[in-house]
């Protein structure tokens, strides 16, 4: 396996994670590939994060602790955009301050990306609650390539490009940045925009990232129906649907997917906004509206049928 030599810029936003961040940074220090910088962007911490990590900053100059300036909005998108403006690397990767990265993450991702001559490398993640799962060392396994024609797989999450599961060539972000008005699903909207531009990638079978599940994580807030995260997800749905429609790559199955999301979120306004984008037939509108109003009955039927079958 050939070893790449280019600098990788790791961008990590942090906010009041003093109880997790040391473990996250120590995992980065264990990377088999050593030519990296880690830009830790402080999103206005009010805890003792800076004091906690000061020994690591003193011992390893590859780590840099930086305050998000006011010209970038508070939140993950603003921190990541600020990190992108400072990154010196040929490649970009985003890690979170409460997760654990596999020691072969950068080596495997870079090797696959360069050997396959693509623009980004996607890999798998594994969730955990308290204890980090056993870290297995396996051979690099390529799953498949990802190109513009595969965008439906990314939109629907069949190939889930989570914020911390992709290594990118820096030029992928030359004209595309994170939408700083989004507080959730910002990476979904951003990464789809990159693929829509024609950047090519590869997906690995390997699990190279371990994400911690807890109620105060961004994802945890979303699944607990926090109104901020829910509103952001709906806004991201509208933006992605509009973008794909403008590029004439919005398939009938994607229209069905987006309207299905609006129905499941019980958001009639979003559904009507999607109609304005899709310009569906009158018959399609009527059937979809009926599905919206019968959704609760359908859920009762589906759950009852599932119980009877089990």
DSSP string, 284-300: HHHHHHHHHHTHHHHHH
**Residue pLDDT, tens place only, 69-103:** 999 999 999 999 999 999 999 999 999 999 999 99
Task: Read off the pTM.
Answer: 0.92
pLDDT at 240: 97
> For the chain, which residues make up each domain, given as ranges?
8-212, 219-309
pLDDT at 3: 52
**Are the C-beta atoms of residues 45 and 16 closer than 8 Å to each other?**
yes
What is the residue whose two structure tokens read 């129905």?
Answer: 263
**Residue pLDDT, tens place only, 251-301:** 999 999 999 999 999 999 999 999 999 999 999 999 999 999 999 888 887
Is residue 2 pLDDT above 60, yes or no?
no
- Distance (Å, rounded) from C-alpha 37 to C-alpha 166? 17
Give the CATH class of 8-212. alpha beta
**Residue pLDDT, tens place only, 175-197:** 999 999 999 999 999 999 999 99
């Amino acid at each position: 396996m050939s070893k790449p030599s280019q600098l990788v810029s790791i961008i990590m936003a942090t906010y009041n994670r003093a109880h997790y961040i040391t473990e996250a940074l120590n995992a980065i220090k264990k990377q088999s590939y050593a030519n990296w910088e880690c830009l830790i962007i402080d999103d206005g911490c009010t805890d003792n994060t800076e004091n906690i990590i000061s020994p690591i900053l003193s011992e390893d100059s590859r780590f840099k602790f930086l305050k998000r300036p006011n010209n970038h909005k508070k939140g993950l998108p603003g921190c990541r955009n600020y990190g992108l403006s400072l990154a010196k690397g040929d490649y970009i990767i985003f890690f979170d301050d409460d997760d654990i990265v596999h020691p072969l993450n950068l080596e495997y991702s870079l090797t696959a990306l360069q050997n396959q001559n693509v623009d980004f490398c996607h890999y798998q993640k594994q969730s955990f609650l308290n204890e980090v799962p056993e870290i297995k060392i396996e051979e690099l396994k390529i799953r498949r390539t990802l190109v513009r024609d595969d965008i439906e797989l990314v939109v629907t999450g069949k190939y889930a490009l989570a914020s911390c599961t992709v290594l990118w060539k820096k030029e992928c972000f030359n004209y595309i940045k994170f939408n700083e008005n989004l507080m959730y699903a910002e990476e979904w909207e951003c990464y789809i925009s990159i693929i829509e531009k024609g950047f090519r990638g590869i997906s690995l079978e390997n699990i190279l990232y371990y994400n911690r599940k807890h109620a105060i994580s961004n994802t945890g807030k979303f699944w607990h129906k926090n109104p901020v995260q829910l509103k952001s997800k709906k806004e991201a749905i509208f933006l992605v649907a509009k973008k794909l429609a403008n590029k004439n790559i919005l398939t009938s199955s994607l229209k069905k997917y987006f309207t299905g999301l609006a129905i499941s979120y019980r958001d009639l306004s979003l559904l009507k906004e999607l109609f304005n984008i899709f310009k569906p037939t009158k018959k399609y509108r009527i059937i979809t509206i009926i599905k919206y109003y019968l959704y609760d009955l359908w859920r009762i039927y589906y759950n009852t049928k599932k119980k009877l079958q089990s």
